[in-house]
């Protein structure tokens, strides 16, 4: 059996080109189609991850370059660079770490932080090229997205659209401050959806990725709670840049515990064999009611002490040999 690698026979090359074209198409739909298009954008890394797992990182890299080339030709080179960082790099790093069987949390963290570093590097280069600050570079696309969303939403009249636009523009400064956290959380959401799609359609038949990670039993390390406590104090006691950094770290950490809470809920859904309707009803409430989402976060936070799934209790030390039955020297009472 050949080891995973880049074998440029006709069949493999066709798969790389087709995968790159599919990834570019998903990304292009997300650019041109509002709302529904964003769902296709989430799927853009799927061909890259699947090809990297099946053909090696060189194959996934070739598919990524094909997709970036098509996007650069059809749109703009800067958009192709954005694709490379936000989707291509995310898929390549995640697939490489999955192939190395790295822990789930480590894989998600490294992939998302790599994307954040690449994203701000690209923003920094663009800021220097246009003689603007990074925040100004970020402000323009956010304003354009708001205007595009308002213009394509049929339920708003002219006056309502203007009032909504004013409200959203006031939120711009706050959204810009939260860009690091939003990029990290967005990367996690993309990876989770993509891994589910890969499993659902058997794009990597060698193993089921989500079942391999056993997410129903996943929990954050106990010391991770400090990423809630320290940034929480920073948000309430500090000002300026330190407060901004603390707020981003706090949001990211609470998202981790939100995911842990979801893992706990899914654990009991599976253990108690809840019907699909009950699962759908819960997630509908989770999406609809903020109090349910907060309760899930609290559930994840308390799990460190309560161990709701009862699967992380450490067994006490075993008694010495010969003492397990209350006897000494291996002799039993007759």
Q: How far apart are CA 243 and CA 232, in angstroms?
A: 9
pTM for the full model? 0.84
Buried b (16+ CB within 10 A) or exposed e, 14-36: ebbeebbebbbbbbbbbbeeeee
Whether residues 22 and 103 fall in one domain: yes
Whether residues 285 and 260 fall in one domain: yes
Whether residues 168 and 298 fall in one domain: no
Runs of H (alpha helix) within 8-56: 10-32, 36-42, 46-55
* Residue 273 in domain: yes
Whether residues 159 and 10 fall in one domain: no
What are the angstrom distances between the C-alpha of 312 and each of 40, 262, 295? Answer: 38, 17, 22
* Residue 316 in domain: no
* Residue 91 in domain: yes
Q: How does pLDDT run across 126-154, given as a tens digit for each residue?
A: 899 888 888 888 887 777 776 766 666 66
**For residue 297, which of 325, 266, 267, 255 has the smallest C-alpha distance?**
255
Which of 19-23, 164-168, 240-244 is most confident? 19-23
Whether residues 116 and 193 fall in one domain: yes
Whether residues 5 and 77 fall in one domain: yes
Whether residues 294 and 162 fall in one domain: no
Whether residues 107 and 188 fall in one domain: yes
* Residue 324 in domain: no
* Residue 329 in domain: no
Whether residues 18 and 99 fall in one domain: yes
Cα angle 53, 90, 189 (rounded to 5 degrees) comes to 100
pLDDT band for position 295 (cuts 50, 70, 90): very high
Residue 6: the pLDDT is: 43
* Residue 156 in domain: yes
* Residue 73 in domain: yes
Which of 318 and 11 is assigned the larger pLDDT?
A: 11
Q: Is the C-alpha dihedral spanning 279, 281, 287, 289 positive or negative?
A: negative
Residue 322: the pLDDT is: 45
Domains identified in the chain, total number:
3
- Owning domain of residue 111: 1-124+183-204
Asked if pLDDT for residue 328 goes beyond 90, the answer is no
Q: How does pLDDT run across 273-289, given as a tens digit for each residue?
A: 999 999 999 999 999 99
* Residue 305 in domain: yes
Whether residues 169 and 107 fall in one domain: no
Whether residues 111 and 1 fall in one domain: yes
Q: How far is CA 288 from the centre of its chain?
A: 21
Whether residues 140 and 193 fall in one domain: no
């Amino acid at each position: 059996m050949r080891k995973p690698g880049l074998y440029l026979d006709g069949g493999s090359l066709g798969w790389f080109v087709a995968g790159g074209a599919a990834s570019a198409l998903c990304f292009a739909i997300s650019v041109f189609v509002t709302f529904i298009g964003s769902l296709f954008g989430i799927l853009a890394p799927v061909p890259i991850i699947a090809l990297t797992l099946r053909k090696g990182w060189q194959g996934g890299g070739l598919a990524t370059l094909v997709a970036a080339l098509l996007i650069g030709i059809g749109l703009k080179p800067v958009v192709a660079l954005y694709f490379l960082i936000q989707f291509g790099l995310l898929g390549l790093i995640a697939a490489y770490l999955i192939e190395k069987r790295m822990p789930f949390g480590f894989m998600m963290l490294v992939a998302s932080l790599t994307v954040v570093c690449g994203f701000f590097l690209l923003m920094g280069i663009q800021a220097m090229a246009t003689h603007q600050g990074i925040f100004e570079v970020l402000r323009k696309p956010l304003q354009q997205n708001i205007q595009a969303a308002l213009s394509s939403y049929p339920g708003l009249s002219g006056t309502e659209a203007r009032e909504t636009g004013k409200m959203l523009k006031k939120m711009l400064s706050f959204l810009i401050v939260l860009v690091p956290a939003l990029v990290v959380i967005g990367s996690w959401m993309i990876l989770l959806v993509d891994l589910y799609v890969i499993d659902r359609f058997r794009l990597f038949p060698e193993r089921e990725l989500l079942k391999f990670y056993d997410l129903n039993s996943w929990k954050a390390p106990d010391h991770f709670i400090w990423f809630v406590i320290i940034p929480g104090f920073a948000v309430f006691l500090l000002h300026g840049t330190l407060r901004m950094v603390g707020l981003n770290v706090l949001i990211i950490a609470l998202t981790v515990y939100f995911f842990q809470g979801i893992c706990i809920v899914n654990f009991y859904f599976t253990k108690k064999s809840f019907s699909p309707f009950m699962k759908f009803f819960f997630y509908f409430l989770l999406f609809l009611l903020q109090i349910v989402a907060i309760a899930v976060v609290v559930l994840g936070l308390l799990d460190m002490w309560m161990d709701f799934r009862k699967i992380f209790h450490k067994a006490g030390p075993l008694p010495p040999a010969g003492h397990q039955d209350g006897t000494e020297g291996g002799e039993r009472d007759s």
